[in-house]
Amino acid sequence: GAVVSQHPSWVICKSGTSVKIECRSLDFQATTMFWYRQFPKQSLMLMATSNEGSKATYEQGVEKDKFLINHASLTLSTLTVTSAHPEDSSFYICSADGGGRTYEQYFGPGTRLTVT
């Protein structure tokens, strides 16, 4: 099956610093990747849709200048949390489309961000 990886799996950073999270499709090419955020005991909330070679589409209420998304290749999308604050602490999950007419999005294992 298709595999999506995320790096790092967890990160602790100080308030005011920036953190980059990578999402890679390991054995397939993904034109579209999605970034979700999940707070404890809550559901997944879509933050943005990332398309290779073009600007990401952000969901309403998500600050595009704070959450920078770059989808530079068909196998890599990155999410950079700029000037992180404690309220940005969350579980960030990416997913990737299968590259064909499949119905499934393939999810990465997630990245747990803690901002101190």
Partner 1 sequence: AQKITQTQPGMFVQEKEAVTLDCTYDTSDQSYGLFWYKQPSSGEMIFLIYQGSYDEQNATEGRYSLNFQKARKSANLVISASQLGDSAMYFCAMREGDTGWNTDKLIFGTGTRLQVFP
Q: Give the DSSP H or E segment for 38.
A: strand 32-38
Stretch that binds partner 1, among 13-21, 62-70, 71-79, 98-106 (CB under 8 A): 98-106
Site string for partner 1, 23-62 (x = CB under 8 A): --------xx-x---x---xxxxx--x-------------
Integer angstrom CA distances of residue 70 from 62, 86, 101: 15, 23, 24
- 33: which 2 tokens? 């990747």
Give the C-alpha separation, 48 to 78, whole Å: 12
Nearest residue (CB) to partner 1, 45 versus 74:
45
Residue ranges binding partner 1 (CB under 8 A): 31-32, 34, 38, 42-46, 49, 91, 93, 95, 97-105, 107, 109-110, 112
